[in-house]
Structure 1
Amino acid sequence: MLSLSTLLILWLTVACRVSSTILQNGQVKPTSYANTLVSLSSRSFTTYPANATEISYQGRWDSKHVSWWSAPGLRFGYTGQTVAISFGNWTSNGVLVAYRIAGLDWMFTNVTTGGTHLLVSPTTPGSASYPRTFELRVTNWALGVQIDAVHVAPGEKLVKLPQNSRRIEFIGDSLTSGMFQSYEGLSGWAYGLGAGLGNTDYSVTAYPGVCAADQNCWGNPRGQVHQWFYTSDTSSRAYAMYGDKPEPWDFSKRPDADLVFVCIGTNDCNAVNNVTSQAYTDALIKIIQGVHGKWPNSQIVVLSLWLGFYKYQNWWYPSAPSCFEKEVYQVYQSFNTEAYLQNPTIYDGMTKKTSQTGNSAKPFVHYFNTTGIMQHNDINPGYHLTDVGSIKIASQLQQYVKLQFGWEFQATGPEVYHDTTYWNDEATY
C-alpha cells in the first residue's frame, strides 16, 4: 500500500507535468505524436474568432475561451480540406489534445502556447470525404487550452452543427476525471459513458483531490459544493488567472442536463482531510439540491464509492465499504421520502430555499451501486481505475441508463476509447 504522502507526491507530479510514460500491460507505450505546429504568417486562411457562433464548445469554457475541468472540447462543421487552430497564451504549453474528422479514430498532438496547429490538411486521411465535421478534446484534467482563432482554407467556411438531443453532467473527483489513465479524461468512465451513448453532449466537471465538503483537500482550496457553481476548476492554473474570484458558471449558456451523475467522496473519507460524516453528508445533499435548483427536471444518479482492494491471505477484499457507504445510501433515501418530495429544498451555492418548480412530486434522485463491478486488477497501483476498469463502469452504466431512463444506444461506430484494440490471432499458443 502506498502511503498518503507518496500518493500526494504522485498526484502533484502528474498535475504538473505535460507528458509522461504510459505503461500498457507493463510495457512502455509509444507517446510520440505528430508535430502539427505551423507558422501562421506563412499561410493563407479564412479565419474565425473564438466566439464565432459556428463553434460549439463542450464542457466548461470561460469568457476568455479557456477550457477547464476534464475532457472539455469543441466541434464544428467545415468546408474545404483544412482546419487549423491558434491557441492563446493561457494554453498549457505541450498539453495533449485529441482531434478527429467526423467518425474517424482520434489523432493526438501536443499543442503550443500561442501557437497555430494545422490539424486537417488535404493529406490527412479522410479529409476528402464527407461528412466534414471536426471535434477536439483536451485529454488532461489539470491543463487546458485557450482558443484564439479557428482557420479554414481561403474561401471556405465553418458550419454550425445541430445540438445533440441528450445531455449528461458528471460531478466528481479523480475517479471521474480519469486520473492516472492512459489518456486521462479520454480514458475515464464519465467520458466513456457520455460518448458511448451517442447523440449526447456531456460535461465532466471533475477534478482530482477535491472534496465534496467546502474545504481545502489535497491543495484544492474549495469543495465541489462550492466550485460546481463556477466555470473554472480548483487548479493552480485557475488560481493564477482568477485568484479567489472565479467566473460564476452561466447555466443559461447550455440546455439543462437530462442526467447528472454524482460520484464524489473518496477525498472526504481520507482521514488526512478530516471531513466528518456529517460534513460530507451535508455537502452531498447540497450538491444534489444545487443541481435540482439549476436544472429542476434533471434526473440525478448518485454512485457508491470505491477505493480499491486489499489482499488478506489468499483473497482480495474491496476497501470501499469503509468510504461513506451508509452515508451515500442514506442521502439517496432522504430525497425519496414523501415528506421531502412534497416540500423539496434547492441550493443556489449560498443558501437553501424551498423549491417552487420542478418534478417535486416524483423521485428524481437514483442510486447506482458499483459494488462487484470491478476486481482488484481493475484498480491501478495509484488506487485509480485502469482503462479496462473504466470501460466496465461505463458499460454497466450504459445498460443502467437504458433500463432506468429508456435511453437507446445511438452511437454508430466512432471510436470512444483509443488504443484498446487488443486481440490475439494465433490459433495455438
Structure 2
Amino acid sequence: MKNYNFTATERFLRYVQIDTQSDPHSEASPTTEKQKNLGKVLVEELQAMGIADAHLDDFGYVYATIPATTDKKVPVICFCSHMDTSPDCSGEGVKPIVHENYQGQDLVLPDDHSQIIRMADHVDLAAQIGNDIITASGTTLLGADNKAGVAEIMDAAHYLINNPQIKHGTIRILFTPDEEVGKGVNNVDMKKLGADFGYTIDGETLGAIENETFSADGVTIVIKGVSSHPGFAKGKMESAIKIAAEIVANLPTDTLSPETTEGKEGFIHPVEIKGIVEEATVSFIIRNHDEEKLKDHEDVLKAIADEVIKKYPFSTYEFKVQQQYRNFKKVLDQYPQIVEFALEAIKRSGVEPKLQSIRGGTDGSRLSYMGLPCPNIFAGEHAFHSKHEWVSVQDMNKAVETIVNLAQIWEEKS
C-alpha cells in the first residue's frame, strides 16, 4: 500500500460526530433508532465506491459485498465492526481533536481542563511518539470503540475496490448495532451474510489479535421486601433497597471484582440497582475465561444473598442467571489457520503481532458459536468508554493494511 492516501482518519472524524449510543434498557432492535443514522451514511459511501448490494436492514445492520478478483475457490471472509458507542459515557456532540506529532506531553482537553490524558496513566502512549493522536474534547467519549474499526474496514474496502489487480476472494462487510449492550448479533441474518470465517476489528493495542475472551453470564437478583408507612414501620418494614445494598456491601473487596483482578482472573460486578422499599433489583455481570468457573462465582454471590436474606424473615428473593456469551477459543482452536493468517497479515504490515486474550467480549464471541469463527484484530482504540478515549492515526492505517493483507493471504493460501 505504498503511496496510498489513507482515508480512515477522514472517515473516522466524520463518523464520531454521529451519535450512536445504544440503550441497555430498550427492547427495540436496534435499541436506539439514531444508530441507523451512521448506517445510512455507510451505505451511501459503500454504494458510491461501487458496492451495489450495500444496504441497511430494519434491525440496523449494514451488509455489503466486495466481489472476488480471483478464479480460485476462496473461503468467504467477513470483516465486522460495531457502530454503537457505550452508554457509560455521553456520545452526543463529540468534537474530535487531532494532536499532531505527539511528543509525550499531557493532553489537556479543551472543553473540560480537568480531563487530562497523561502518559503515566496511559502507558501505550509511550509507543506513539511522533504519531498523531485523536481525542475528544473533554465532555464526551470519542467513539474509537468501535468507529475506528468501522473507518478501517471502510478504507480497506475503498482500497480493494480501487485496486482490482489485488487478488482476493469474496469479502463480506458487516456493521452491527448494539454491541455495547450485548445485543450486537441478536438479529444477524447468517444465511444472508454467507461467510465462512470472520474477523472483528475491535481491539486495542497495535499488532494485537485476540483469540480468547471472557465467558459471560448476567445475574439478576429480585428482592421482595415488606413495605410499611415509615412512621409506623417498627417491627414491620423490611426494605428491599437496604437488602439490596447489604448484598452489594458483602461482596468480596480484595478479590472477584474488576478493580482487584487482572489477566485471566474473573469477577462479580454489580452494574445496576433500582427499586423501592417493596421490591428492588440488582443486576450483575459475571466473568471468567474458564466457563466452568462462572458457576463458582455465581455460587459465591448466591451464598451472600442467602446469608443476608436470613436477617429478613418476611422477605424473599429470586436469583436469575442468563447466559451472555462464551469464550470463543474453543471454536477458534478448531480452525488454526484463521489466527495464523491474521498473525501473518500483521507481520506484513511491518508490525510485530501479539496473540493475547481480552478481558471482555466482542461480537465475534457469539458469532463464533453461530457458525462464523471470528477472532478479534486491533483497531487502535484506547481508554474506551471514557472521556480519555484516544486512537492513533498511524495505528488506524496499520489496521487498514492488515485487513488488505488478510484478504490477499486467504487467496494465496487457497
**Which structure features the higher share of helix residues?**
2
TM-score (norm 1): 0.30
TM-score after normalising by structure 2: 0.31
Structure of greater Rg: 2
